[in-house]
Structure 1
Amino acid sequence: MALLTHLLACAFGMGSWVAINGLWVELPLLVTVLPEQWYLPSYITIIIQMANVGPLFVTLMNRFRPGLLKEVAVIYVIVSVGVLACLLLAFLWNHTSLIAGTSHSIPFLILTFFLALVDCTSSVTFLPFMMQLQPQYTSTFFIGEGLSGLIPSLIALGQGSGISSCTNVSYEVNITTGNETTESTILKLETTYLPPNFSTLIFFLLMTAMMLTCLLAFFFLTQQPKVWELSQQHLFPSNIVLNSFDQILDEGADSQLSRGCSWPKDPKGPGDILPQKVSYSLTQLTLIYLLVGWVSALTNGVLPSVQSYSCLPYGHTTYHLAATLSSMANPLACIVAMFLPSRSLTLMVILTVAGTGFGAYNMAIAVMSPCPLLQQSQWGDAIIVLSWVLFTGTLSYMKVMAGVILRSRSRSALVWYGVLEQLGSLLGALLMFPLVNVYGFFKSADYCSLQCPA
């Protein structure tokens, strides 16, 4: 029974961000079909930020009308919406509509908003529900969250989405000289997209199946016995503890978890002696929050908007590898952090500087598009893919470190972590959207027909 519950918790966590992660790794194929083309990543970035209205609504309701929203009902609703949105996306993703004479993939963008709404809202509903179960299942839930990025990446690698080659295409043209017109044949290099191993329809149906698995896992988890005495539980080694529940009780009815429950405030015996918290000064905490805001702006707003511009000049195969491998780096970094946690502020700053350096290189390449450095060299392909992987991996590990530090303090510290994370993401998206879509600061071009200096 315990093994089955672990599998259910993992499957439940897997549904938290699987839909949006699936969209990101499918982008190399989507940009070749949808009319937004290279602009598509910036559209998705701003849509995800708009979808934060979901967790904002849930948070405000829990704050000002505690107990009105039933947690289990909310999760049933959002996961069901995710299943339906994924299913509709499988059949409607390439439908377009004319707006002001320009073709746009309206069904895709609308369904993307609902998927983002589901995933963003899961951040404030899934974990509180898991806290009602036996404490050992919470770590399994986090592993499932990591798999929500890893599994779509592996599926996209198997699909081979967006891979292309350059082929000579012949055209018949009429050449007029004086009064004489002759026909001539010219050859032109054009991009030919290789068919994926399976279609986008199948990919989104697989995402639908994963969301449906999450829904079924949640149903069976609701049948498990609840545990209400979870004042503190070790989720990481090195005496890092979760203090949320005592804080919830102290702060009143901020969450429906505390209704009708008896929460112990003090340890009840020698085995429950609490480890001493590590104290941080106001300056150190301010530094942590600033780093969280900065890193979130880079990873969730600024760099995702220009990934196509930094990778596509090297070819669609490079873009495919960069998108999928960098998406895999995120959950792998989180899993590593679970087993090798660190609370060193020095290491946090070093990782932030290193990740910012990789991000600066990616941005510089995007600015140079469509003729970046080492374009005709395999070294250029390898460096840009590696840069994206290291950018995502280092900054993902840094954010986990910040969460570990703040988790050992109080619930309010984690709340401010979430606020700074969303604020940074929003500012990054708002900064990049006009640069990409309004002012045309970044240039796109067909890889096979580029006229770049040697």
Structure 2
Amino acid sequence: MALSVHLLACLLGTGSWVAINGLWVELPLLVPSVPEGWLLPSYLTVVIQLANVGPLLVTLAHRFLPGRLHEVALIYALLCLGGLACLLLAFFWGESSVVGGSRRSVALLALLFCLSLVDCTSSVTFLPYMRRLQPRYLTTYFVGEGLSGLLPGLVALGQGVGVARCVNGSLAGNGTGLQVAYQAPRFSACAFFLFLSGMMAVSLVAFVLLNHLPAARQEHAKEKYQVRLQIESPDSMRVTVEEGPAAHTAFPSSSRSWAQTVFIFGVLAWVNALTNGIMPAVQSYSCLPYGNFAYHLSATLAALANPLACFLGMFLPIRSLVLMGALSLAGSLLACYIMAMAVLSPCPPFLHLPAGVILIVLCWVLFVGTLSYVKLMIGMLLRDEGHCALVWCGAVVQVGSMVGALAIFPVVSVYGLFRSGDPCHSSCPG
């Protein structure tokens, strides 16, 4: 029975970010067919940041209306909205309308906002909900959250998205010399979005079973009760037992010092700024100089490292703040090497050597795996603090991701400080 609950918790976790992760890996197939072209990733970044209004409203509701927000109903609404938006994307992603004299993908951008709202708000709803279950299921949830990036990536890899080869331009009738030609996908974007819609439906079914399946209800954590003693008169008194308010007490409520609390949330914000905002924007610049194989290998193995790190946490549930700081520093140093390779693109060190491919792939895998384990450690620490701590955990995750994305956006998209190499024409010596 416990195994089935672990599976349901994992499936709920996959519904947290599967839609947006799926959109990112499908972009090479969408870009040639939309009026925005390669500006679409920039639009997507802005839309995701606008969708942070969702977690902001939820956090404010928990702060000023404690106990009033119906968390289960909100999660039902989010999963239904996500599944419906993915379904509509399958049929309307290529539609465009004239806005201000120019053609714009109005339907695509509107549905992207809906999906971003679902995924961003999941950080402050799914995670606090997991406190209703026994502590061991939180780790399984993080495994599912990691799979929300891995599964769409594997499907896109099987689809053949972004796979390029060099062809003779004179033979293709497009000019002279070698030119990049992208492989035709094995199935359409419509089928891919239907897959995402199916993933959201599976997550919705898993959530229904977590709430109503007897085996799952038996695994719910014991509720906290608050006892009130009310003296009505000198000769009579009444004792009342209330369920719930103790779960929404102010944070921090434990013996942990404010310095430790600030350290935990500071590390959480920094780690998410790196993993969700800054480093994904430079992945192509750091890997593509070493070839398409290095890029796809690093993306796939890094996505696999996330759930594997969380799975490791099931057997090594360490809560040491010292180890957390050490791992965060190690992950930051790996990020520095990756960023250096992106800055030196299109001529990074070891360009024509196997060592270059091995180093960049290994750094990406260790970077994602190390910081994923740090996020799991923080989740376990804050799970012990109570419901309010997990709400703030989700809020800080979104704030860190937003700050990271907004910091790197002008560097990459406005000032163009990074340069990508031509995979068919190397201008580097050697």
Q: What TM-score, normalized by structure 1, do the two folds share?
A: 0.76
Change (3 A) 1:351 1:10: closer
1:363 aligns with 2:344: no
Root-mean-square deviation (CA), in Å?
3.7
- Give the Cα–Cα distance (whole angstroms) in 2 for the partners of residues 92 and 354 of structure 1: 44
Q: Name which of structure 1's ranges 159-168 and 379-388 shifts more when overlaid on structure 2.
A: 379-388
Instruction: Check if 1:155 corresponds to 2:155.
Output: yes
Q: Which residue of 1 aligns with 2:295?
A: 319
1:393 corresponding residue in structure 2:
369
**CA distance in structure 1 between the partners assigned to 2:106 and 2:345 by the alignment:** 27
Report deviation, 1:211: 0.8
Residues 99 and 437 of structure 1, relative CA distance in 2, 3 Å threshold: farther
In structure 2, what is the equivalent of residue 170 of structure 1? 170
Given the alignment of the two structures, is residue 191 of structure 1 paired with residue 142 of structure 2, yes or no? no
Q: Would you say the 8 A contact 1:41–1:308 is kept in 2?
A: no
The answer on 1:230 being equivalent to 2:206 is no
| SS of structure 2 residue aligned to 1:165 | strand
Kindly provide the amino acid, as one letter, of the partner of residue 262 in structure 1: E
Question: What secondary structure sits across from 2:177 in the alignment?
Answer: strand
Tell me the SS of whatever aligns to 1:124. Answer: coil
Alpha-carbon separation, structure 2, partners of 1:435 and 1:205:
35
Alignment of 1:369-448 (within 5 A): 369-448=345-424
- C-alpha contact (below 8 Å) 1:97/1:104 kept by paired residues: yes
SS at match of 1:442: coil
1:288 partner SS: helix
Alignment check: 8 A CA contact 1:45 1:429 kept:
yes
In 2 relative to 1, CA 411–84 (structure 1 residues): closer, same or farther, beyond 3 Å? Answer: closer
Instruction: Name the stretch that deviates more: 71-80 or 385-394.
Output: 71-80
- 1:406 and 1:132 map into 2 onto residues whose CA distance is 14
Q: C-alpha distance in 1, partners of 2:35/2:244?
A: 55
The whole-number CA distance in structure 2 between the counterparts of 1:365 and 1:389 is 15
Residue 217 of structure 1: aligned partner: 206
**1:155-209: CA deviation from partner (whole Å, max 9, x where unpaired):** 2333332111111111899xxxxxxxxxxx9731101112334333322221111
For residues 126-173 of structure 1, the C-alpha deviation after alignment (integer angstroms, 9 at most, x for no partner) is 344455567776655444334323322332333332111111111899
SS at match of 2:169: strand
Maintained 8 Å contact 2:127/2:391: no
Distance 2:268 2:309 in 1: 16
Distance 1:354 1:98 in 2: 49
AA of the residue aligned to 2:180: T
Deviations 1:73-95 (A, max 9, x none): 32222111111211222334455
Residue in 2 aligned with 1:262? Answer: 243
The structure in which a higher percent of residues are helix is 2
* Counterpart amino acid of residue 213 in structure 2: Q
* Map of 1:89 onto structure 2: 89
Identify the residue that residue 336 of structure 1 maps to in structure 2: 312
Preserved contact between residue 140 and residue 310 of structure 2 (Cα < 8 Å): no
Q: Distance in 2 between matches of 1:186 and 1:10?
A: 51
Query: Structure 1 residues 420 and 218 mapped into 2: Cα distance closer, same or farther (>3 Å)?
Result: closer
- Judged with a 3 Å threshold, the aligned counterparts in structure 2 of structure 1 residues 320 and 220 are, in CA distance, closer, same or farther, namely same
CA-to-partner distance for each residue in 1:227-249, whole Å, 9 max, x for gaps? 798347xxxxxxxxxxxx57xx6
3-state DSSP class of the match of 1:166?
Answer: strand
Which residue in the other structure is 1:349 paired with?
A: 325
Name the CA distance, whole Å, in 2 between partners of 1:167 and 1:402: 49
Asked if 2 retains the 8 angstrom alpha-carbon contact of 1:228 and 1:261, the reply is no
Could you say if the C-alpha distance between residues 34 and 335 of structure 1 is closer, same or farther in structure 2, counting changes exceeding 3 Å? farther
CA distance in 1, matches of 2:34, 2:428: 26
Q: Secondary structure at the match of 2:161?
A: coil
Give the Cα separation in 2 of the matches to 1:362 and 1:40.
24
Q: Secondary structure at the match of 1:187?
A: coil
Query: Does 65-74 or 128-137 show the bigger shift?
Result: 128-137
8 Å CA contact 2:273, 2:402 repeated in 1: yes
* Structure 1 residues 217 and 171, CA gap change in structure 2 (3 angstroms): closer
Give the corresponding residue for 1:242: none
Secondary structure of residue in 2 paired with 1:453: coil
Superposition map of 1:98-113 within 5 A: 106-113=106-113
Quote the Cα distance in structure 1 between the aligned partners of 2:220 and 2:94. 50
Which residue identity does 2:243 align to in structure 1?
S
Distance 2:101 2:286 in 1: 29
1:410-437 CA distances to partner (integer Å, 9 max, x unpaired)? Answer: 5554444444333322221121112222
2:264 and 2:63 mapped to 1: Cα distance?
Answer: 26
Q: How does 1:63-78 map to 2 (within 5 A)?
A: 63-65=63-65, 69-78=69-78
**Where does structure 1 lack aligned partners over 5 or more consecutive residues?**
174-184, 233-244, 251-259, 266-276
CA distance in 2, matches of 1:383, 1:32: 32
**Superposition TM-score, scaled by structure 2 size:** 0.80
Q: How does 1:248-259 map to 2 (within 5 A)?
A: none
Structure 2: 5+ residue stretches without partners: 228-240, 247-252
Aligned-pair identity (%): 54
> 1:353 offset after TM fit, Å?
1.9
For 1:198, what is the secondary structure of its paired residue? coil
> Residues 214-269 of structure 1, C-alpha deviation per residue, up to 9 Å, x if partnerless?
2233334443355798347xxxxxxxxxxxx57xx69xxxxxxxxx963698xxxx
